Amino acid sequence: MNISLTAAYLAVKFYGLSRDPRISSVFPPFVINFYEQMVRFLPRHLSWYQRTLNVGLLRRFFILSEELLLPGDLMHVLCRKYYLTKMVDEALEKGVEQLVNLGAGFDHLGVYASQKGIPAFELDYPHMIEQKRRFLVKEGYENKLIHLQETDITKQRLGETLLSIEEFDPKKRTLFIAEGFFDYLSLLPSEQVLEDIRTMNIRNQLISTFFSLDELPFMHQMSFRGGVSLVGESLKFKITKPEFVELLEELEFELEEELNSLLMRDDLVKRMGVKLPVLKGFYILNFSVRSNLF
């Protein structure tokens, strides 16, 4: 099975942490079940985590070893899944009509949105779309509102990809999710993606995660980059958070909401009663397209 190991380990980490009732209680049952099924679906050298992480002692060893390598990494996984789900719910309440998940990987948000009654479009490389489609069929998640589309953003513009999908309607207000997406793109294709989101519909919304590695101690920066390299991937979007916000403002986006590691720690992590940090330099940013009508 040819898959993104980064996407797979995100699912594994969330699954392992969600064995703790304090953590699972803050998530919708759908999310917990989705990742349990996903980890079971992964190839054998990864699916063994499904059994192993159910053992309390082994799970505690897993958490300790992860925290020694990169403090805050595990809680950042929980935070991104929790807050992105919450923000999708809020966007639906405000009238978003369809969702596009950029570099969807093994994430739950496309299926989640489709089950809430809006069209959802998951975009990723062909090998990832193939495996995601197999998973959706196997676990009964396929429905008429979830659409999986193969693409390579570095070779085909986002607008071209979306307009090639019969079910996609550019006139609808669309929520774009970029969870860990821009980190693996260089500047030019990132700018092109942002331009396509903006020009397609002035009512569009973008929610993006962002890692500002300059905020981490040097050794933790090395650990972060090393972990990505070990799974055969590399970080290409090498700018700071202020530079990222400035870039989007130059492209006529407006920052509506910013969640940082301290806010997430003081809200979600404390509420769960878990005494672990959230990765420094991790942000979730919510942008709207700036209106130039006035």
SS3 per residue for the chain: CCCCHHHHHHHHHHHHHCCCHHHHCCCCHHHHHHHHHHHHHCCHHHHCHHHHCCCHHHHHHHHHHHHHHCCCHHHHHHHHHHHHHHHHHHHHHCCCCEEEEECCCCCCHHHHHHHCCCCEEEEECHHHHHHHHHHHHHHCCCCCCEEEEECCCCCCCHHHHHHCCCCCCCCCCEEEEECCCHHHCCHHHHHHHHHHHHHHCCCCEEEEEEECHHHCCHHHHHHHHHHHHHCCCCCCCCCCHHHHHHHHHHCCEEEEEEECHHHHHHHHHHHHCCCCCCCCCEEEEEEEECCCCC
Distance between CA 116 and CA 31 in Å, rounded? Answer: 13
Q: Is residue 294 part of a domain?
A: no
Note the pLDDT of residue 1. Answer: 59
Note the pLDDT of residue 220. Answer: 85
Note the pLDDT of residue 47. Answer: 76
Note the pLDDT of residue 266. Answer: 96
Asked if residues 258 and 285 have their Cβ atoms less than 8 Å apart, the reply is yes
Q: In the predicted model, is pLDDT for residue 118 greater than 50?
A: yes
Q: In the predicted model, is pLDDT for residue 232 greater than 60?
A: yes
Question: pLDDT band for position 293 (50/70/90)?
Answer: very low
Q: Is residue 23 part of a domain?
A: no
| Assigned token pair, 254 | 């407006």
Note the pLDDT of residue 127. Answer: 94
Which one has a higher pLDDT value, 101 or 293? 101
Q: Is residue 47 part of a domain?
A: no
Note the pLDDT of residue 45. Answer: 79
Q: Is residue 59 part of a domain?
A: no
pLDDT, tens digit, 9 for 90 and up, residues 33-57: 999 999 999 988 787 787 788 777 8
- Which of 198, 176, 209, 178 has the alpha carbon at shortest distance from 248? 198
pTM exceeds cut of 0.75: yes
Note the pLDDT of residue 143. Answer: 96
Note the pLDDT of residue 294. Answer: 44
Asked if residues 99 and 174 have their Cβ atoms less than 8 Å apart, the reply is yes
- Which of 91, 87, 130, 139 has the alpha carbon at shortest distance from 111? 139
What is the percent of the chain with per-residue pLDDT over 70, rounded to a whole number?
98
What is the percent of the chain with per-residue pLDDT over 90, rounded to a whole number?
77
Q: Is residue 173 part of a domain?
A: yes
What average pLDDT does range 177-195 have in this prediction?
A: 94
Total domain count, the chain: 1
Note the pLDDT of residue 274. Answer: 93
- Which of 135, 112, 107 has the alpha carbon at shortest distance from 123? 107
Strand partners, 120: 99, 146
Structural domain that includes position 146 = 71-289
Note the pLDDT of residue 224. Answer: 82
Query: The CATH number of the domain where 122 resides is what?
Result: 3.40.50.150
Q: Is residue 237 part of a domain?
A: yes
Q: What mean pLDDT value characterizes the chain?
A: 93
**Of the ranges 10-19, 162-171, 230-239, which one carries the lowest mean pLDDT score?**
230-239
What average pLDDT does range 231-236 have in this prediction?
A: 74
Q: In the predicted model, is pLDDT for residue 114 greater than 90?
A: yes
Distance between CA 154 and CA 193 in Å, rounded? Answer: 10
Contacts by 215-220, CB closer than 8 A, 24 or more apart: 215/241, 215/280, 215/281, 216/279, 216/280, 216/281, 220/70, 220/71, 220/280
Q: Is residue 16 part of a domain?
A: no
| Assigned token pair, 53 | 């992480």
Q: Is residue 253 part of a domain?
A: yes
